[in-house]
Structure 1
């Protein structure tokens, strides 16, 4: 009986992982806007994998570069999240101007390891592991430590 239950549990876990996994696609299948960002900003860092996820809110693309950097795009190719490779930081050109000015003044010496953009605003993760939240006008809202 234990073997049957264990087998059923393993089968359900494997099935669930398959259902939630995205489809592997080629770089040419990404929206043009996403391909342009990758080729202009990450030319020296080749794409290692791309997943296309069809979700309730639309299609999302998850791109991993050879360095370990991860980029998420929405269905029209606009970036939603950019995560630096482990031990690395993001280039300043991905940080909106007002947010960059706030960070330089309030957190000198810290760098950005991840930035997330959604309809409510931005979430920025720093090298000190603080998560800073900004509204859609790039005004500081709060910090999570």
Structure 2
């Protein structure tokens, strides 16, 4: 019986060791962004999407322990943040113009998603409202 219990313990312990993400190929810019904005979370998984043809901009997909998924381009610049379980995305992770707009117009709202495209940026709020901004972060419209 002791052998079964010890075997189970070692099996579970070894899973924890292998579950840690390999961040070796993740650019320093991406690592810095995660450290600055999500330092209380651990990186669960890093997927390098070198062969994806559908989303050419998304080079790295990072999953954090709080359920937030981050997508980075090949240089490590953030291009998308998405909460899988309505975890709040900190305003510090958003561009300054968008943060200012949200603080002024939605002071008590929570952000659960953000995406940057070539000519626009979109912010998803916890109440389901989607806001559209231009590439510089100037408000355009409610989507």
The number of residue pairs the alignment matches comes to 120
Q: Larger strand proportion, structure 1 or 2?
A: 1
Counterpart in the other structure of 1:138: 137
- Name the SS of the counterpart of 2:24 in structure 1: helix
**What displacement does 1:70 show?**
0.8
Within 5 Å, give how 1:36-115 maps onto structure 2. Answer: 36-54=32-50, 55-56=52-53, 57=56, 60-84=59-83, 86-115=85-114
User: C-alpha deviations, 1:66-107, integer Å up to 9, x for none?
Assistant: 111111000110011112352321111122222222223332
> How far has the Cα of 1:59 moved from its partner?
5.6
TM-score of the superposed pair, with normalisation by structure 2: 0.73
Q: State TM-score, norm by structure 1.
A: 0.72
Task: Look up the match of 1:27.
Answer: 23
Which ranges of structure 1 fall in alignment gaps of 5 or more residues?
1-24
Question: Larger deviation: 126-135 or 33-42?
Answer: 33-42
